Amino acid sequence: MLTFGQIGLGLALAATVLAAVLFLFGHLQKGAGKSLSRIGYYLTFAGVAGLTISVVIIAVSFFTKDYSIYYVATQHTTDASSLSWLYKLAGVWAGREGSLLFWTWLMSLFAGYVAWKSAATEDELGNMALMIINAIIALFTVAMIFSEPNNPFVATPAQFLSNGTLVGAAAQWGMSPLLQHWAMILHPPTLFIGYAGLTVPFAFAMSTLIINDSSDRWIKWADRITIFSWLFLGIGIGLGAIWAYVVLGWGGYWAWDPVENASILPWFIGVAMIHSFTMYRRKGGFKRWAIMSTAITFAMVVLGTFITRSGIVQSVHAFAPDNLSLWLFLFIIVGSIVAGAVGLAVRWKEFAGNDAFESLTGREAAYYFNNVLMLVASLVIAYMTVASALPKWLPFGGQSLGAVAYNLIARPVGILYLVLMAVCPVLSWAFTDGATFWKRIKWPLVATLVMFGLLVVEWIVNLRPVYADMVALGGETAKGFTSFGPQVVYDILTLLGFFFASFVICNTVALFVRGVKARMDGRGEGFGTALGSVFFKARSQSGGYLAHIAIGIIVIGLIGSSMYVRDMSSAVQAKVGTTMQVSDYTLTYMGNKETTKSNGDVEEIVHFNVAKGGKEIGEVSPSMTTFAAQGQSRLNAVVLSGPLRDVFVVFQGTSNGTLSMDVKINPLIWFVWIGFILLLVGAGLSAWPKKKAITA
Amino acid sequence: MKSAEPKRGNNMNKRARNRLIGITAIMLIAIVAIIATVGLRGGTASNVTVKQATSDKKNIGKRIKVGGVVVTGSWDKKTNPMTFKIRDEADSSGTGTQITVIYSGTAPSTFGDGVTAIVTGEFDANNTIKAGEMITKCPSKYESSTGSYTVKDLKARADTMKNIPVKVSGKVKAGTIVAPGGAVRFTVLNATGGTDEINIAFEGALPNGMKDGSTVVLTGELNDTGAFEATNVALEGAK
């Protein structure tokens, strides 16, 4: 099996290298190169076949428990439940070596898809895009074959194997139990589909530069794949956050860890890319933006794997460093940006595009500021992420930046971005006069004020008091609040955030209402038909607007669940009836249960009744497992979910009849999850293939 | 959408363009200003080791991010804020200066003796750090036995090797692992056979998956009673 896996990788490397070379010569020889390019297509499929063999072998080995493969031996599931077959499959992408193989395989599938679609015409645009994708796949395959820590096909050392079973220390190898969770099964593949797919727009951008075609043909090729990939990347990020919240037990879902940042970076710059594509398609503008944003997006995609495999930055996700990965992935990052920049410099005039600005009130200006903000935000976060690895004389060089630092920047910049999102869709192309603008926002503004008013009431009653409570605790926890300066700054940020989030939601909903009304009046359609038409006939646009509404909802959730978390640790007497008070929640101790398992592990469960304002709302039973032989413990947190806030309870142990409890009140966190789902629906609608392009 | 925009001349276009550039500049300056406040408002911390932090006076009163090994038995998860000590990662004998961490937050599930804790907070003159952020790395689970003594070798040199930090590898004797608290945690046998064995004293967390018959690599020293006082216990492994 090991040998076949290696052969698969070898085949993939040979095929992709040769394909890239043949496409290149095919291009250089103009018409005479047709036959070379044709072989390139066959080789592209051969590359897909090689990587598919490797992936299938790894997957089969997990199912047949073939522990002669070191990767399988270290990542096999130890779970015995009905889900264990899923965890077996998940082994393919659970570890360092397998995830790289899985990602490369997905890229080859995208390459295969492009080749299949382009084979009919064999035109230069497709050929050159395939050259680029094949070259990238070849580089990734090199990273697997020539760097042992990345190679999934390494034999398990003989001393750990006896008759096909793992012995000695190896007997307990396996996937971390923390990873054996449904969200963790789906998180990596969705993320990697996104990563892999974002290679495609980059390849087509480079291709169109090579063949000097500044028409929107390449956009039409890459558009859907781009939104599809961006959507999957988003799903991946969201699932990671849900997993962190439910399993890791620290009560949060986003910590600005370098690897988390690395996943959000291509997503941010991807927003600029998608909007540039829209301008390219509809107005023939933003051509240089579109090209360059594909290159930066791709570089950001690789940054994550560079960080985890090079060991340059401390992260909870980091693997043991290896030098080949460091230089190879650094080369891909720098190479893609240089390729974009140099290519654009050479074709500067050809890609001038229709970028005439009439006025700041035109929609073009909003698109432009969207790009500037997303680009700057991505570059700043990327810089901060790697700052600790940079020399000391650079700003923040050698310094480590915590969540406080990111929040200080993200919150005000996020609000600026909301303003843009709120007004952009109501602007006309080129120029919007004041009267039209006012007419368009008048009613949405009324709705906004109502929504904002409700949020303010909630804020005054439940959120704002948290500030004083948390600051009173002092220490590092208070720093997250006081680092913004006087409380009034924090208040203003919150209110601006709530206002513009409401404005985004109402303004965008109004667009749908207007669209439906126009159809009902103009074409005499019924309400349902009109609504259906608005949603499905102009999918790109309506999907985009749904995504805007979703972002507005998410921001409301973020303000609550990241800025106003009430966190209280306290010692509670282990006497039935003892209460602890957190905000207006009362937790009453109801008793405990201690069970000792046959292997000596002890699980201690404590039961609490939870009441809010005197009314009982539920029960929580957090627990702590102590592993006897290892002397380690695991805390099993419990979340009591409500529409406006979650109660998150952790039990940290007992001493001398006192329970150590940690309770967090996470307000509005459900807005984050609901907004996230709506975002998926919107992006999914946009990515849905259509027979012919229709724009409203 | 309506397209009844008034026709505008080149002049207007240029003016709009200049305004656009102007606003971009203002936006960038605002963002730079926001970033600058991060440094002033204590959002940054320099990365140091325990040794660097305690040996350089410049760190006093500054925010630092320091990683070190949690000293066995120095902590109590039940106090709030929780206090524990960390030692330099290279200081396996535990004789160097240690840092006392006062941590106000929920301890991560993986926290325990021998774990590498990376904490961020303000460092003061008494080698104490008030930390609000902590990430943990599991103790190196696997270690190569290359360069370590066998149980047999170490026993043979027991007289000359007392109280000198060494590495030794051997097999865990069946049925000897007990919970921490006693003088002996477990016993190791010579890995290649024979009757030689050494009692191991160790209070920290044992690596996941260690059991009877596991080959382990121990760091520590022989004490006067002939027992081996381990500061680190790892499973033998290729990685």
Pair of tokens at residue A101: 């193989």
pLDDT single digits (tens) A180-206: 777 778 888 999 999 999 999 999 999
Are B123 and B50 part of one and the same domain?
Answer: yes
| Across A385-399, A407-421, A631-645, least confident range | A631-645
- Comparing alpha-carbon positions, the chain B residue that sits nearest to A174 is B209
| CA-based nearest residue to A689, from A227, A278, A235 | A227
| Across A135-139, A213-217, A340-344, B199-203, least confident range | B199-203
A465: confidence class by pLDDT, cuts 50, 70, 90: very high
Strand partners, A610: A587, A618
* Statement: residue B167 has pLDDT above 70: yes
Question: Considering CB atoms only, which of B30, B205, B215 is closest to A630?
Answer: B205
How far is residue A463's CA from residue B206's CA, in Å, rounded to a whole number?
A: 44
Whether residue A496 contacts residue A415, with contact meaning beta carbons closer than 8 Å, is answered with yes
| Across A165-174, A234-243, A283-292, A569-578, least confident range | A165-174
How far is residue A148's CA from residue A97's CA, in Å, rounded to a whole number?
A: 9
pLDDT single digits (tens) A235-293: 999 988 888 887 766 677 888 888 788 889 999 999 999 999 999 998 898 999 999 99
How far is residue B84's CA from residue B76's CA, in Å, rounded to a whole number?
A: 7
Task: Find the mean pLDDT for residues A560-571.
Answer: 88
Are B75 and B131 part of one and the same domain?
Answer: yes
* Statement: residue B111 has pLDDT above 50: yes
| CA-based nearest residue to A189, from A114, A84, A105 | A105
Task: Find the mean pLDDT for residues A402-421.
Answer: 89
Whether residues B209 and A157 touch (CB distance < 8 A) is answered with no
- Comparing alpha-carbon positions, the chain A residue that sits nearest to B42 is A483
Residue A403: its chain B contacts at CB < 8 A? 133
**Residue B73 DSSP label:** T
Residue A320: its chain B contacts at CB < 8 A? 239
Domain locations in chain A? 1-179, 181-401, 420-564+674-687, 566-670
* Statement: residue A170 has pLDDT above 60: yes
Task: Find the mean pLDDT for residues A588-601.
Answer: 83
Asked if residue B82 is part of any domain, the answer here is yes
More confidently predicted of A81 and A397: A397
Q: What is the pLDDT of residue A149?
A: 84
Question: B99-103 and B128-137: which strand pairing?
Answer: parallel
CB atoms within 10 A of CB A146: 12
Whether residues B121 and A631 touch (CB distance < 8 A) is answered with no
pLDDT single digits (tens) B130-160: 887 787 765 444 455 556 778 888 888 787 7
Whether residues B43 and A157 touch (CB distance < 8 A) is answered with no
* Statement: residue A176 has pLDDT above 70: no
| Across A21-30, A138-147, A352-361, A628-637, least confident range | A628-637
Residue B216: its chain A contacts at CB < 8 A? 169
A664 phi, psi to nearest 5 deg: -120, 135
Last residue of a domain, one of B118, B137, B156: B137
Task: Find the mean pLDDT for residues A420-429.
Answer: 86
DSSP assignment string, A115-140: HHHHTTT--HHHHHHHHHHHHHHHHH
CATH of residue B176: 2.40.50.140
Q: What is the pLDDT of residue A169?
A: 63
Whether residue A8 contacts residue A108, with contact meaning beta carbons closer than 8 Å, is answered with no
- Which stretch of DSSP H or E encloses residue B57? none
A654: confidence class by pLDDT, cuts 50, 70, 90: confident
Cβ neighbours of residue B18 under 8 Å, at least 6 residues apart? none
Pair of tokens at residue A606: 């404590």
Are B19 and B62 part of one and the same domain?
Answer: no
Pair of tokens at residue B133: 């952020």
Whether residue B172 contacts residue B214, with contact meaning beta carbons closer than 8 Å, is answered with yes
Asked if residue B3 is part of any domain, the answer here is no
Are B23 and B96 part of one and the same domain?
Answer: no
* Statement: residue A589 has pLDDT above 90: yes
Whether residue A669 contacts residue A645, with contact meaning beta carbons closer than 8 Å, is answered with yes
Alpha-carbon gap: A450 to the closest alpha carbon of chain B (Å): 27
* Statement: residue B186 has pLDDT above 50: yes
Whether residue A170 contacts residue A162, with contact meaning beta carbons closer than 8 Å, is answered with no
Last residue of a domain, one of B137, B160, B178: B137
* Statement: residue A631 has pLDDT above 60: no
pLDDT single digits (tens) A506-542: 999 999 998 888 888 888 888 888 888 888 888 888 8
Strand partners, A647: A640, A665
**Residue A39 DSSP label:** H
Q: What is the pTM of this model?
A: 0.82
Are B125 and B149 part of one and the same domain?
Answer: no
Asked if residue B1 is part of any domain, the answer here is no
* Statement: residue A601 has pLDDT above 90: no
Whether residues B238 and A409 touch (CB distance < 8 A) is answered with no
Are B73 and B123 part of one and the same domain?
Answer: yes
Cβ neighbours of residue B89 under 8 Å, at least 6 residues apart? B49, B50, B67, B68, B69, B116
How far is residue A382's CA from residue A373's CA, in Å, rounded to a whole number?
A: 14
Alpha-carbon gap: B186 to the closest alpha carbon of chain A (Å): 10
CB atoms within 10 A of CB A133: 31
Question: B82-87 and B99-103: which strand pairing?
Answer: antiparallel
Are B131 and B85 part of one and the same domain?
Answer: yes
Pair of tokens at residue A265: 């970076």
| Bond from prior residue into A643 cis (ω within 30 degrees of 0) | no
How far is residue A359's CA from residue B17's CA, in Å, rounded to a whole number?
A: 8
More confidently predicted of A278 and A164: A278
Asked if residue B116 is part of any domain, the answer here is yes
More confidently predicted of A404 and B129: B129
pLDDT single digits (tens) A46-88: 999 999 999 999 999 999 988 889 899 888 876 666 778 888 8
CB atoms within 10 A of CB A351: 21
Whether residue A235 contacts residue A188, with contact meaning beta carbons closer than 8 Å, is answered with no
Share of chain A above pLDDT 90, in %: 48
Pair of tokens at residue A291: 């090209």
Q: The domain containing residue B232 runs over which residues?
A: 142-236
Whether residues B121 and A409 touch (CB distance < 8 A) is answered with no
Question: What is the ipTM score, two decimals?
Answer: 0.75
Round the average pLDDT of chain A to a whole number and report it. 88
Question: Considering CB atoms only, which of B43, B81, B206 is closest to A404?
Answer: B43
Alpha-carbon gap: B121 to the closest alpha carbon of chain A (Å): 7
Whether residues B214 and A316 touch (CB distance < 8 A) is answered with no
* Statement: residue B73 has pLDDT above 50: yes
- Comparing alpha-carbon positions, the chain B residue that sits nearest to A255 is B133
Number of independent structural domains in chain B: 3
| Across A7-21, A292-306, A562-576, B196-210, least confident range | B196-210
Q: What is the pLDDT of residue A693?
A: 43
A633: confidence class by pLDDT, cuts 50, 70, 90: low
More confidently predicted of B78 and A386: A386
H-helix segments, A424-565: 434-458, 464-473, 475-482, 487-523, 527-537, 539-563
Asked if residue B212 is part of any domain, the answer here is yes
Are B204 and B170 part of one and the same domain?
Answer: yes
Are B100 and B61 part of one and the same domain?
Answer: yes
Q: What is the pLDDT of residue A696?
A: 34
Q: What is the pLDDT of residue B4?
A: 39
Residue B79: its chain A contacts at CB < 8 A? 660
Residue B106: its chain A contacts at CB < 8 A? 249-251, 569, 635, 650, 652, 662
Residue B43: its chain A contacts at CB < 8 A? 401-402, 404-406, 408, 483
A310: confidence class by pLDDT, cuts 50, 70, 90: confident
Asked if residue B115 is part of any domain, the answer here is yes
Are B146 and B232 part of one and the same domain?
Answer: yes
Are B152 and B131 part of one and the same domain?
Answer: no
Q: What is the pLDDT of residue A376?
A: 92
* Statement: residue B108 has pLDDT above 70: no
How far is residue A493's CA from residue A459's CA, in Å, rounded to a whole number?
A: 12
